[in-house]
C-alpha cells in the first residue's frame, strides 16, 4: 500500500510541475494580448477625439472607461494563472492533464489516465476493484513517465503568435502616429487633460452684412451675407415669422456673397443664414450668421372684399355674393357688380382701376369703400385705397372679369321627321324641341308657299308658334298648324322651318333655325295611286302566302299516308313537320303585318276622305279578319303537334297531325275567302272613287269659273295659271274614264254586278262634249279671252255636275243591289235552316218513340242521314254567302258544325241501337240549328241597321269632353317633364291616375255605342297608346315618345269627332222618301212570303199551334217578324 502511494506522489509531482509551467505561459500570453488591446483601444479613442473634439465630461468619462479596461485586461491573465497554478480549474486537473498527455504521447496512451482512475476507485470502500491491480497499474505508469517531457503539450506557438501580432500592431500604430503626429499629440493632450476646455476650429464663417433694419409694410427688402473659408455649395436661409417659419437653400456666388430679395415684407421677421453639420467626422455642429430682425411699419390693406353680382333681369337668375378669395368673376353681359371693401385702417380715398383704362371713384366711410360697376366686356380691375397719410396699399389684388356668353338657342324639328303630304284636314302637326340658357322671346314658323302652276306667285311669310312658358329653358312643344287659309291647289308646296329666338335684350335676341321641310298638297291622282299601290301589295302578299300554304299541303298529306303505312316517324318526316309548324307561324306573322298595312291604308284614306265610311268600315272588317285568321284552335293544334313530336308518341302524332291539317286547311280557306271579299271591296271602293273624282272635278271646274269671273283680261299671268289648272282637270278627266273602264271590267267577274250599266255611263260620258268644253276653256284662257273662257268653263262644270248626279244614283243603286243580294242570300239560308231544324225536330221525336229492338230504327237512321245531307247543302250555301260579306256571325258557323256533329252521333248511336243517346244527340242538333238560325237573323238585322246613329250627339259630346281632359293631361305632363324632385314623382302618379280614369271612360263609351251603332269614329289604337302613357307616368318617365303618344291620343279623339260628323252629314246619307221596291223572292221560299200582313199573321198563328218547343217557337216568331218588316218596307 505504501508502495502504491509513493508512485502516486511521483505522478502528481510531475503533473504539478506541468501546471506551474502552464500558468506562467498563460500569464505571459495574457499580458501580451492585454497590451495589444490597450494600445489599440487608446489609438481608436485618440483618433475619434482628433476629429470629434469631445466635451470635457465626455473626455473624462473616456479616461475613466479606458483606465478601468486597462486594469481588467491585465488582471484577467493574473487570475487565470493563479487558478491554474493552484489546480483550481477543472480544465487543468490531473485527469484532464493525463488525457491531454495520452493524446499527445501515443506511447503513453491512456495508461496514465487509467492508472489514476484505478487508484481513485481503489481508495473507495466496497468499490469491488482489486487493490493489487491498482498498485500494479500505478507502478507501471510511474516507471514510464520519466521517459516523457510533459511540457511539450504547452501551446507555446500561441505565445509567439501573440507576440508577433502585438509587434505588428505597435509598428502600424507607430507609423500612423508618426505620420499624423500633431493630430495625435493634440488628441492625446486633450484626452489626458479631461477637465480643461478646448475651442473647436471652424472651416468657414457666415457674416450678415445687412443686419437688423426697419422697412415699410409691403416694401421689397434685400439682405446680404458674406461667406469666408471653405464654405459649402448651399447655405440655409431661415425666415422666422410670428406664425410660421420658412427655410430656403441658397448658393453663394464666386466671392462668397449671398444677396436675397425677400419681396413685400408685411410683418416683422427674424432671419439668419446657417449651415448644420450632417457628418460625424466634423467636430462642429452649426455655423450661423446670427439672428437679425426686420421690423415692419404697416400700410393700409384690404381685409375683406364682397362683390354683389346682379345678373341681367331677363335671365331670372338670383343675386350672388362673392367673397374676396375668388379673383375671377364669371358674369353675363349687362351684369351689375356692387363692391364693398373693408380696410385695415381709416381711409382718405379709394378708386377702382380697370385694365381698359377707365377709373371708378369709390365712396369712402371710415375704413370702408363702396361702388357699382356695370359689365359689358371682359376686363380686369384693382381696388386702390389710401390711408390718412396718403399711403397706398401695396400690390392690390387683380380681379378678372370673364364674360359668360349667352349661348345661341337650339331648335330641332322632331315631327314631322320628313317631308309630308297634306290631307283634307290641311293641317301640319308640328313638334319641336327648343333649348336656351334663360328662355325665349318668341318662336316663329317661317314658310314659303310655292304654287305649282304659278311660280311667280310664290309667297313668304311667318306666324308665331304658341309659347305657354317663355322661361322654360328646355321645351318640347306640339302645335297643329292649319294651312286652310292659304288656298292651296293640288301639287302646291309649302316649305317651312321653325325659328326660335332667345330673350337676350343686350346682345340679341339671337336665333336658331330648324331644318327645312316640305308639305305637299297631293292631287287626287296621287292619293288614289298611293292607295292602290298599297292595296296591290296586300293582295300580292296574300296570294303568295296562300300559294305557299297550298303547296305545303301536299307535304302534310304525304306524311299522313306514310304514317298509315309505317307508324314510326323518321328524322326527315319530323323535320318536315317542324318546318310546316314554323311556316304556319311565319304565315301568321305575315298576316299580322298585312293587317297593320290595311290599318294604315284605312287611316290615310279616312284622313284624305277618299272613300265613304261604309267602304272604310268594310276595309276595317277586312283588316280585323286578317288578324283573326290565326284561330286559337290552329295555335292549339300547332302546340299539340309540337309536343307530340317531342314525345315521339305514334298515336299522339297521328291525331295531332290530322287536327293540324284540318285547322291549316281552314286557315288557307279563310285567306282565300279574304281575297275574294277584297275583290268585292275593291269594286265598291272603285265606285266610291269614281264619285269622289267627279266631285273633285266639279269643285275644281267651279273654282276655275269663279277665278275667271274675278280675273281681268289684262292679267295674262293669272290667265296662264288658270289655263294650266284647266289642263290638269282635262288630264284627271281622262284618268276618271280609265277608272270607269277598269271597274266595269272587274265587275264582269261577278254576274250580279252592274258591269254593263257602268260601261254605258262611261260611253255616254266619253260621247259628251265635256272634254271639248274643257279644251275650249283652256284655249280661251291661253288667249286671254275671259268671256269665252267663262262660258265654256261653266258649260263644262254643268256637264260634270250632271254626270256626278248620275254616278251618285248609280252608286246608290249599286249599294242597294249589293245589299239586296246579301239579304236574299241570308233569307234563303235562314229558310233552309228552319226547314232542316223542323225535320230534325220530327226525327228526334221518332227516335224517342222507336223501341231499341224495332226494325224501324234503321229506317229512322236513313232519314237522319238524308237530313244530314240537306244540312251539308245549307252549309255550302252559308260558305258561299260568307264569301260576299263580313257581316256573317262566326257563331252561326259553329252552330252548323255542332248540328252536323250531333246528327253524326245520332246515326252512330242508332246503329248501336242506343235510342236514348241517339235522341239526346238529335235534340242537341235541333238546339244548335235554332241557335245558328237566331245568329243568322241577328247578323242580317245588324247588316241592315249598320247605318244607325243612335245616341250620336251624346257620343260626340262625350268625345269632346274627353279631348278637353286629354289636353289638360298633355299640358301638365309637358311641364312636369322639365322639372325634377319628389314633387314631380307624386304629380306624375296623379296624372297616371287621371289618364287611367280617362282610359276607362273611353272603353265604357265604346262599349255603349257599339251596342247600338258601329259608328265609333277614328279611335283605333287610342286605348293602346293610353296604356303605354300610363306605364311611363307610373314609372316616373316623361320621354319624347310619351309626349308623342299623348299628342296622338288627342289628335285621334279630335279626328274621331270629325269623322263621325262627316259620316252624319254626308250627302250620300241624307234622308230620302221611301218608295216601293219590287223584287223576286228566291224559288225555295214559300209562295206566300210576299203577301199581305194578314196572311203572315195567319201562318204565324198556325205555326204556333203545332206544339213546338218554346225555343223553337221563339225562332219562328223572329223569322216571321223579319219577313213582316221587309214586307212593310
In the sheet that holds 320-322, the strands lie side by side as 320-322, 302-310, 336-343, 368-374, 363-365
Q: How many whole angstroms separate alpha carbon 669 and alpha carbon 675?
A: 10
What is the average pLDDT value for the chain, to the nearest integer? 77
Q: Is the peptide bond before 509 cis (omega within 30 degrees of 0)?
A: yes
302-403: which CATH architecture? Answer: Sandwich (2.60)
Give the pLDDT score at 1064. 42
Instruction: Report the predicted TM-score, pTM, of the whole model to 2 decimal places.
Output: 0.46
Give the pLDDT score at 1042. 83
Which residues fall within 8 angstroms of residue 739, CB to CB, at 6 or more apart?
528, 686, 689, 690, 693
Q: What is the pLDDT of residues 254-277, one digit of tens each?
A: 888 988 888 777 788 999 998 887
In the sheet that holds 427-435, the strands lie side by side as 410-415, 427-435, 474-482
Three-state secondary structure string covering 1012-1080: CCCCCCCCCCHHHHHHHHHHHHHCCCCCHHHHHHHHHHHHHHHHHHHHHHHHHCCHHHCCCCCCCCCCC
Mean pLDDT of 1062-1077: 38
Mean pLDDT of 986-998: 82
Q: How many whole angstroms separate alpha carbon 1002 and alpha carbon 958?
A: 9
Q: Which of 632, 637, 630 is nearest to 670 (CA)?
A: 630
Taking every pair of Cα atoms in the chain, the longest distance, rounded to a whole number of angstroms, is 190
Which residues fall within 8 angstroms of residue 181, CB to CB, at 6 or more apart?
none
Triad 865, 871, 872: Cα angle to 5°: 95
Q: How many whole angstroms separate alpha carbon 60 and alpha carbon 44?
A: 16
The neighbour count for residue 739, using CB atoms within 10 Å, is 18
Give the pLDDT score at 944. 66
Q: Please answer whether residues 289 and 206 qualify as being in contact, where contact means their C-beta atoms are separated by less than 8 angstroms.
A: yes
Distance between alpha carbon 572 and the CA centroid of its chain, in Å?
A: 45
Helix 716-747 to helix 524-565 angle (10° resolution) is 30
Triad 849, 851, 857: Cα angle to 5°: 90
Q: Please answer whether residues 350 and 381 qualify as being in contact, where contact means their C-beta atoms are separated by less than 8 angstroms.
A: no
Please check the confidence at residue 949 and state whether its pLDDT lies above 60. Answer: no
Three-state SS at 280: coil
Give the pLDDT score at 499. 94
The neighbour count for residue 402, using CB atoms within 10 Å, is 12
Start-to-end C-alpha separation, the chain? 177
E strand or H helix at 346: none
Give the pLDDT score at 501. 93
DSSP for 908-944? HHHHTT-HHHHHHHHHHHHHHHHHHHHHHHHHHHHHH
Determine phi and psi for 1094, rounding to 5 degrees: -65, -40
Q: Are strands 398-403 and 328-331 parallel, antiparallel or unpaired?
A: parallel
Q: Please answer whether residues 507 and 333 qualify as being in contact, where contact means their C-beta atoms are separated by less than 8 angstroms.
A: yes
Dihedral angle at the C-alpha atoms of 777, 781, 784, 788, nearest 10 degrees? 10
Q: How many whole angstroms separate alpha carbon 534 and alpha carbon 527?
A: 11
Mean pLDDT of 57-77: 82
Distance between alpha carbon 257 and the CA centroid of its chain, in Å?
A: 71
Give the pLDDT score at 937. 81
Q: Are strands 292-297 and 213-216 parallel, antiparallel or unpaired?
A: parallel
186-204 in b/e form (b: 16+ CB < 10 A) is bbbebbeebeeeeeeeeeb
Give the pLDDT score at 517. 92
Q: How many whole angstroms separate alpha carbon 555 and alpha carbon 560?
A: 9
Which residues fall within 8 angstroms of residue 276, CB to CB, at 6 or more apart?
236, 285, 286
Report residue 178 as a C-alpha cell.
508618426
DSSP for 498-517? EEEEE--SSS---EEE---E
The residues that bridge with 272 in the sheet, in sequence order, are 238
The neighbour count for residue 981, using CB atoms within 10 Å, is 8
Report residue 341 as a C-alpha cell.
371693401
Which residues fall within 8 angstroms of residue 1065, CB to CB, at 6 or more apart?
none
Q: Running DSSP on this structure, what letter comes out for residue 497?
A: E
Check the CA dihedral 840-841-846-847 and report its sign.
Answer: positive
Burial of 666 (0-12, 13-18, 19+ CB in 10 A): middle
Q: How many whole angstroms separate alpha carbon 218 and alpha carbon 296?
A: 8
Q: Please answer whether residues 321 and 307 qualify as being in contact, where contact means their C-beta atoms are separated by less than 8 angstroms.
A: yes
Q: What is the pLDDT of residues 156-182, one digit of tens each?
A: 888 888 888 888 888 888 888 778 877
The neighbour count for residue 314, using CB atoms within 10 Å, is 20
Which residues fall within 8 angstroms of residue 1012, CB to CB, at 6 or more apart?
948, 950, 951
**CATH tag for 821-946+1077-1128 (out of 3.40.50, 1.20.120, 1.10.357, 3.30.70):** 1.20.120
Q: How many whole angstroms separate alpha carbon 855 and alpha carbon 834?
A: 29
Q: What is the pLDDT of residues 849-900, one digit of tens each?
A: 888 888 788 888 888 888 888 888 887 877 777 666 755 655 666 777 788 8
Triad 75, 80, 83: Cα angle to 5°: 125
Q: What is the pLDDT of residues 70-123, one digit of tens each?
A: 888 888 888 888 888 888 887 888 778 878 887 888 878 777 777 777 777 776
Which top CATH class is 528-682?
mainly alpha
Q: What is the pLDDT of residues 697-751, one digit of tens each?
A: 888 888 888 888 888 878 887 888 888 888 888 888 888 888 888 888 888 877 7
Q: What percent of the chain has pLDDT over 90?
A: 4
Does the domain at residues 204-297 carry the CATH identifier 2.60.40.10?
yes
The neighbour count for residue 267, using CB atoms within 10 Å, is 12
Q: Please answer whether residues 527 and 608 qualify as being in contact, where contact means their C-beta atoms are separated by less than 8 angstroms.
A: yes
Mean pLDDT of 121-137: 65
Q: Please answer whether residues 271 and 209 qualify as being in contact, where contact means their C-beta atoms are separated by less than 8 angstroms.
A: no
Please check the confidence at residue 941 and state whether its pLDDT lies above 80. Answer: no
471-480 in b/e form (b: 16+ CB < 10 A) is ebeebbbbbe
Name the CATH topology of 412-522: Immunoglobulin-like (2.60.40)
Give the pLDDT score at 1113. 53
Mean pLDDT of 1047-1065: 63
Confidence of residue 445 (pLDDT cuts 50, 70, 90): very high
Report residue 904 as a C-alpha cell.
253524326
Triad 818, 824, 826: Cα angle to 5°: 105
Mean pLDDT of 653-673: 70
Q: What is the pLDDT of residues 74-88, one digit of tens each?
A: 888 888 888 888 888
Three-state SS at 354: strand
Which residues fall within 8 angstroms of residue 179, CB to CB, at 6 or more apart?
none
Q: How many whole angstroms separate alpha carbon 652 and alpha carbon 719?
A: 81
Q: How many whole angstroms separate alpha carbon 442 and alpha carbon 510?
A: 11
Q: What is the pLDDT of residues 751-762, one digit of tens each?
A: 778 888 888 888
Which residues fall within 8 angstroms of residue 165, CB to CB, at 6 or more apart?
36
Q: Is the peptide bond before 416 cis (omega within 30 degrees of 0)?
A: yes
Q: Running DSSP on this structure, what letter comes out for residue 824?
A: H
The neighbour count for residue 320, using CB atoms within 10 Å, is 13
Q: Please answer whether residues 1008 and 951 qualify as being in contact, where contact means their C-beta atoms are separated by less than 8 angstroms.
A: yes
Determine phi and psi for 79, rounding to 5 degrees: -65, -45
Q: How many whole angstroms separate alpha carbon 891 and alpha carbon 44?
A: 126
Amino acid at each position: 500500500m505504501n508502495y502504491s502511494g509513493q508512485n502516486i506522489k511521483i505522478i502528481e509531482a510531475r503533473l504539478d510541475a506541468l501546471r506551474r509551467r502552464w500558468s506562467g505561459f498563460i500569464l505571459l500570453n495574457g499580458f501580451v494580448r492585454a497590451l495589444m488591446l490597450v494600445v489599440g483601444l487608446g489609438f481608436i479613442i485618440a483618433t475619434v477625439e482628433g476629429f470629434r473634439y469631445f466635451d470635457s465630461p465626455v473626455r473624462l468619462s473616456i479616461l475613466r472607461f479606458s483606465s478601468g479596461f486597462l486594469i481588467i485586461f491585465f488582471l484577467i491573465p493574473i487570475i487565470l494563472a493563479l487558478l491554474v497554478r493552484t489546480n483550481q480549474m477543472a480544465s487543468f486537473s490531473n485527469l484532464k492533464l493525463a488525457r491531454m498527455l495520452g493524446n499527445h504521447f501515443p506511447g503513453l496512451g491512456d495508461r496514465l489516465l487509467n492508472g489514476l482512475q484505478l487508484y481513485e476507485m481503489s481508495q473507495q470502500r466496497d468499490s469491488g476493484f482489486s487493490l493489487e491491480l491498482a498498485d500494479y497499474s500505478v507502478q507501471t505508469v510511474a516507471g514510464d513517465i520519466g521517459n516523457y517531457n510533459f511540457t511539450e503539450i504547452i501551446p507555446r506557438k500561441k505565445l509567439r503568435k501573440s507576440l508577433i501580432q502585438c509587434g505588428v500592431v505597435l509598428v502600424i500604430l507607430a507609423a500612423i502616429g508618426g505620420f499624423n503626429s500633431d493630430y495625435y499629440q493634440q488628441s492625446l493632450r486633450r484626452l489626458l487633460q479631461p477637465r480643461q476646455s478646448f475651442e473647436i476650429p471652424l472651416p468657414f464663417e457666415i457674416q450678415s452684412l445687412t443686419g437688423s433694419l426697419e422697412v415699410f409694410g409691403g416694401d421689397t427688402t434685400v439682405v446680404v451675407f458674406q461667406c469666408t473659408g471653405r464654405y459649402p455649395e448651399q447655405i440655409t436661409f431661415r425666415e422666422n415669422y410670428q406664425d410660421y417659419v420658412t427655410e430656403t437653400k441658397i448658393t453663394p456666388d464666386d466671392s462668397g456673397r449671398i444677396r436675397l430679395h425677400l419681396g413685400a415684407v408685411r410683418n416683422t421677421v427674424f432671419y439668419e443664414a446657417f449651415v448644420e453639420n450632417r457628418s460625424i467626422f466634423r467636430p462642429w455642429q452649426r455655423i450661423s450668421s446670427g439672428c437679425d430682425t426686420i421690423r415692419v411699419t404697416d400700410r393700409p390693406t384690404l381685409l375683406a372684399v364682397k362683390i354683389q353680382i346682379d345678373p341681367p333681369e331677363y335671365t331670372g337668375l338670383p343675386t350672388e355674393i362673392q367673397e374676396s378669395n375668388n379673383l375671377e368673376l364669371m358674369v353675363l353681359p349687362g351684369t351689375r357688380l356692387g363692391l364693398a371693401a373693408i380696410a385695415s385702417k381709416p381711409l382718405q380715398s379709394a378708386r377702382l382701376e380697370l385694365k381698359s383704362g377707365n377709373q371708378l371713384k369709390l365712396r369712402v366711410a371710415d375704413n370702408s369703400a363702396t361702388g357699382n360697376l356695370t359689365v359689358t366686356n371682359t376686363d380686369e380691375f384693382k381696388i386702390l385705397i389710401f390711408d390718412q397719410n396718403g399711403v397706398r396699399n401695396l400690390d392690390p389684388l387683380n380681379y378678372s372679369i370673364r364674360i359668360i356668353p349667352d349661348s345661341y338657342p337650339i331648335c330641332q324639328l322632331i315631327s314631322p321627321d320628313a317631308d309630308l303630304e297634306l290631307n283634307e284636314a290641311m293641317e301640319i302637326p308640328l313638334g319641336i324641341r327648343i333649348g336656351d340658357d334663360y328662355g325665349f322671346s318668341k318662336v316663329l314658323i317661317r314658310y314659303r308657299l310655292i304654287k305649282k302652276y304659278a311660280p311667280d306667285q310664290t309667297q313668304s311669310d311667318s306666324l308665331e308658334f304658341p309659347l305657354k312658358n317663355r322661361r322654360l329653358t328646355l321645351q318640347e312643344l306640339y302645335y297643329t298648324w292649319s294651312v286652310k287659309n292659304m288656298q292651296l291647289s293640288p301639287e302646291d308646296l309649302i316649305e317651312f322651318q321653325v325659328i326660335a329666338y332667345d330673350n337676350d335684350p343686350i346682345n340679341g335676341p339671337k336665333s336658331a333655325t330648324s331644318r327645312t321641310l316640305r308639305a305637299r298638297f297631293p292631287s287626287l291622282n296621287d292619293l288614289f295611286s298611293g292607295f292602290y299601290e298599297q292595296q296591290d301589295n296586300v293582295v300580292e302578299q296574300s296570294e303568295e302566302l296562300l300559294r305557299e300554304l297550298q303547296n305545303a299541303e301536299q307535304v302534310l298529306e304525304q306524311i299522313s299516308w306514310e304514317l298509315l303505312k309505317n307508324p314510326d316517324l323518321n328524322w326527315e318526316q319530323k323535320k318536315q313537320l317542324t318546318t310546316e309548324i314554323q311556316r304556319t307561324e311565319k304565315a301568321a306573322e305575315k298576316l299580322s303585318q298585312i293587317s297593320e298595312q290595311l290599318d294604315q291604308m284605312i287611316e290615310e284614306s279616312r284622313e284624305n276622305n277618299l272613300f265613304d265610311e261604309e267602304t272604310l268600315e268594310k276595309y276595317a272588317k277586312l283588316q280585323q279578319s286578317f288578324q283573326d285568321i290565326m284561330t286559337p284552335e290552329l295555335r292549339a293544334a300547332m302546340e299539340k303537334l309540337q309536343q307530340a313530336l317531342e314525345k315521339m308518341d305514334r298515336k299522339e302524332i297521328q291525331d295531332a297531325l290530322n287536327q293540324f291539317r284540318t285547322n291549316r286547311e281552314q286557315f288557307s280557306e279563310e285567306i282565300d275567302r279574304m281575297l275574294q271579299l277584297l275583290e268585292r271591296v275593291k269594286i265598291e271602293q272603285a265606285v266610291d272613287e269614281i264619285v269622289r273624282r267627279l266631285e273633285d272635278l266639279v269643285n275644281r271646274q267651279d273654282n276655275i269659273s269663279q277665278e275667271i269671273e274675278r280675273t281681268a283680261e289684262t292679267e295674262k299671268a293669272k290667265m296662264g295659271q288658270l289655263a294650266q289648272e284647266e289642263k290638269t282637270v282635262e288630264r284627271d278627266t281622262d284618268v276618271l274614264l280609265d277608272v270607269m273602264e277598269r271597274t266595269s271590267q272587274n265587275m264582269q267577274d261577278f254576274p250580279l254586278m252592274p258591269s254593263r250599266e257602268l260601261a254605258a255611263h262611261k260611253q255616254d260620258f266619253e260621247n259628251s262634249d265635256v272634254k271639248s268644253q274643257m279644251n275650249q276653256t283652256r284655249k280661251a284662257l291661253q288667249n286671254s279671252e275671259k268671256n269665252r273662257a267663262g262660258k265654256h268653263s261653266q258649260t263644262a262644270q254643268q256637264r260634270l255636275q250632271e254626270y256626278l248626279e248620275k254616278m251618285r244614283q248609280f252608286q246608290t243603286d249599286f249599294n242597294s243591289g249589293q245589299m239586296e243580294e246579301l239579304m236574299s242570300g241570308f233569307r234563303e239560308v235562314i229558310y233552309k235552316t228552319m226547314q232542316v231544324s223542323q225535320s230534325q225536330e220530327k226525327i228526334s221525336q221518332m227516335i224517342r218513340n222507336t223501341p231499341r229492338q224495332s226494325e224501324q230504327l234503321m229506317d229512322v237512321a236513313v232519314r237522319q242521314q238524308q237530313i244530314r245531307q240537306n244540312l251539308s247543302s245549307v252549309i255550302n250555301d252559308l260558305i258561299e254567302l260568307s264569301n260576299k260579306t263580313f257581316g256573317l256571325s262566326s257563331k252561326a258557323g259553329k252552330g252548323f258544325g255542332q248540328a252536323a256533329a250531333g246528327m253524326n252521333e245520332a246515326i252512330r248511336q242508332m246503329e248501336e241501337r242506343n235510342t236514348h243517346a241517339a235522341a239526346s244527340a238529335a235534340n242537341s242538333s235541333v238546339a244548335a240549328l235554332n241557335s245558328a238560325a237566331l245568329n243568322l237573323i241577328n247578323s242580317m238585322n245588324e247588316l241592315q241597321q249598320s247605318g244607325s246613329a243612335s245616341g250620336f250627339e251624346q257620343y260626340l259630346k262625350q268625345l269632346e269632353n274627353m279631348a278637353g281632359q286629354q289636353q289638360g293631361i298633355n299640358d301638365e305632363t309637358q311641364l312636369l317633364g322639365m322639372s325634377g324632385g319628389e314633387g314631380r314623382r307624386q304629380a306624375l302618379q296623379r296624372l297616371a291616375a287621371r289618364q287611367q280614369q280617362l282610359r276607362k271612360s273611353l272603353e265604357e263609351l265604346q262599349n255603349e255605342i257599339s251596342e247600338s251603332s258601329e259608328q265609333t269614329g277614328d279611335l283605333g289604337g287610342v286605348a293602346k297608346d293610353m296604356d303605354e302613357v300610363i306605364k311611363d307616368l307610373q314609372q316616373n318617365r316623361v320621354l319624347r315618345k310619351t309626349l308623342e303618344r299623348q299628342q296622338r291620343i288627342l289628335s285621334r279623339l279630335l279626328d274621331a269627332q270629325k269623322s263621325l260628323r262627316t259620316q252624319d252629314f254626308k250627302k250620300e246619307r241624307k234622308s230620302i222618301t221611301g218608295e216601293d221596291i219590287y223584287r223576286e223572292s228566291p224559288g225555295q221560299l214559300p209562295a206566300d212570303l210576299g203577301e199581305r200582313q194578314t196572311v203572315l199573321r195567319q201562318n204565324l198563328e198556325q205555326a204556333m199551334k203545332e206544339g213546338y218547343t218554346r225555343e223553337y217557337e221563339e225562332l219562328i216568331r223572329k223569322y216571321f217578324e223579319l219577313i213582316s218588316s221587309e214586307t212593310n218596307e
